[in-house]
Each structure stands twice: as C-alpha cells, then as structure tokens.
C-alpha cells in the first residue's frame, strides 16, 4: 500500500498525521476537511472529485482489491496529496476514526442487495448509521446515492430515525461524477437518487 495506504485495523487515526501538514498547498489554507468515501468501486469519481476539491482530504475505503490498486495508481500518477486509501471492510475501519473528525461521509451506490432475503446486508441500515453519524462534526454531511427505489426509501427511513440528523432527497449535484455503475443504471432505466443529511 506504500505511502498512500492505511491499514483497516489499528490504533485510532490522527488525521494530522495521516494527511500531514501542508497537504492543501495554497488551495485550502488552514482548513482541513476530511471526507470518508465508502465503497469507491473503481475509484474514478473519488479521483475526479479529489482533483477538483484539493481542500478536501479523502479517505477512501473499498473491499475490492483491483479498485484499490486503481486508485493508488491514479494517486501516484497524478501526484494527488489529498487522498489516502484503505483496503477492507468499512465496519472494521470505524473504530479507527475519531468521533466528530469528519466533514462528510459519502456512500455512492452501495451494493443494492435487491432480493428481500438479502436486505439485511445493505450497508445503510440502522446499526451502521448509528456508528457513522458520531464520526461527523456538527454541520457535517452524510451523502448517499442509490439507483434502487426501495433502497432510497430505506435510506430515508434509517436516517430520519436518527436524532440530530436533518435532510432528505436533493437534486443530483452537478459535481458528482457519473461512474460506470451509475451510467449502466441510467441506461437500464433506473433513476438515481441523491440524499444528503446534515448533523445539526
């Protein structure tokens, strides 16, 4: 994993140490915004957004080894200093992330698990959201996207049940790149939905 990889288990992370000083250059001043991107897939959106938003420090995690390798290669090739990558299950990583340390958590198109008997495997479920929300600072955002209607409804229900979270469906933000996954969903006639919840 070299310079840009972070272990999925271990001591709590200090983002000052993880991202180092001066990572922002002139673009971000002293503002350090750490964003957790869960399940980045092949990583094309993560890389594009990290390049467009150099003031954001992106910690990306995925279990899929080829995607992790693709992001590490792109980080190296493009000289991105604001991206770190974890290979593994996000549930194992959560203990390493200090409470109220994140400006945003992004979960774009988590695995849909469409069959009724598989629904318990969906990432956006009450016990996971209860662990994610305390990692966000006040004003921090949980940004979700899905192309599965009943998953969008599940996301709404799960988030609305958390005290101190406010939000719902938003218009698709222009800055969120269309990935191959989303393009296929659109081509197959599904309608992606974005939801943003803010910690109040």
Ligand X SMILES: C[S@@+](CC[C@H](N)C(=O)[O-])C[C@H]1O[C@@H](n2cnc3c(N)ncnc32)[C@H](O)[C@@H]1O
Residues identified as active-site: 111
Q: Cβ(167)–Cβ(199) under 8 Å?
A: no
Alpha-carbon distance 102 to 100, whole Å?
6
- The smaller minimum CB distance to ligand X, of residues 24 and 151, is found at 151
Tokens of 167: 């939000």
SS3 sequence, 85-138?
Answer: EEECCHHHHHHHCCCCCEEEEEEECCCCCCCHHHHHHCCCCHHHHHHHHHHEEE
Q: Strand 5-6 vs strand 33-38: parallel, antiparallel, or unpaired?
A: unpaired
40 contact partners, CB below 8 Å, separation of at least 6? 46, 60, 61, 62, 67, 71, 108
DSSP SS3 for 78? helix
Closest CB 187 distance from ligand X, rounded Å? 14
Tokens of 95: 């203990």
- The smaller minimum CB distance to ligand X, of residues 33 and 182, is found at 182
Closest CB 81 distance from ligand X, rounded Å? 22
- The smaller minimum CB distance to ligand X, of residues 123 and 165, is found at 123
Give residues in contact with ligand X (CB under 6 A).
38-41, 45, 61-64, 67, 89-91, 108-111, 123, 179, 181-182
Going edge to edge, which strands form the sheet with 165-170?
5-6, 83-87, 56-62, 33-38, 102-108, 136-146, 193-199, 165-170
Closest CB 162 distance from ligand X, rounded Å? 19
Closest CB 69 distance from ligand X, rounded Å? 13
- The smaller minimum CB distance to ligand X, of residues 31 and 52, is found at 52
- The smaller minimum CB distance to ligand X, of residues 64 and 190, is found at 64
Closest CB 200 distance from ligand X, rounded Å? 26
């Amino acid at each position: 994993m070299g310079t840009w990889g972070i272990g999925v288990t271990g001591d709590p992370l200090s983002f000052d140490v993880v991202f180092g000083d001066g990572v922002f250059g002139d673009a971000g001043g002293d503002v350090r915004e750490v964003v957790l991107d869960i399940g980045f897939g092949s990583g094309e959106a993560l890389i594009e957004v990290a390049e467009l938003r150099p003031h954001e420090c992106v910690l990306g995690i995925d279990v899929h080894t080829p995607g992790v390798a693709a992001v590490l290669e792109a980080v190296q090739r493009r000289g991105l200093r604001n991206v770190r990558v974890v290979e593994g299950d996000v549930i194992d990583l959560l203990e390493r992330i200090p409470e109220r340390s994140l400006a945003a958590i992004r979960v774009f198109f988590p695995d849909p698990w469409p069959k009724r008997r598989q629904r318990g495997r969906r990432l956006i479920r009450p016990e996971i959201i209860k662990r994610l929300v305390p990692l966000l600072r006040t004003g921090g955002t949980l940004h979700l996207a899905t192309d599965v209607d009943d998953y969008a409804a599940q996301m709404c229900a799960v988030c609305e049940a958390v005290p101190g979270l406010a939000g719902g469906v938003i218009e698709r933000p222009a800055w969120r790149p269309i990935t191959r996954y989303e393009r296929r969903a659109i081509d197959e006639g599904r309608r992606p939905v974005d939801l943003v919840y803010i910690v109040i």
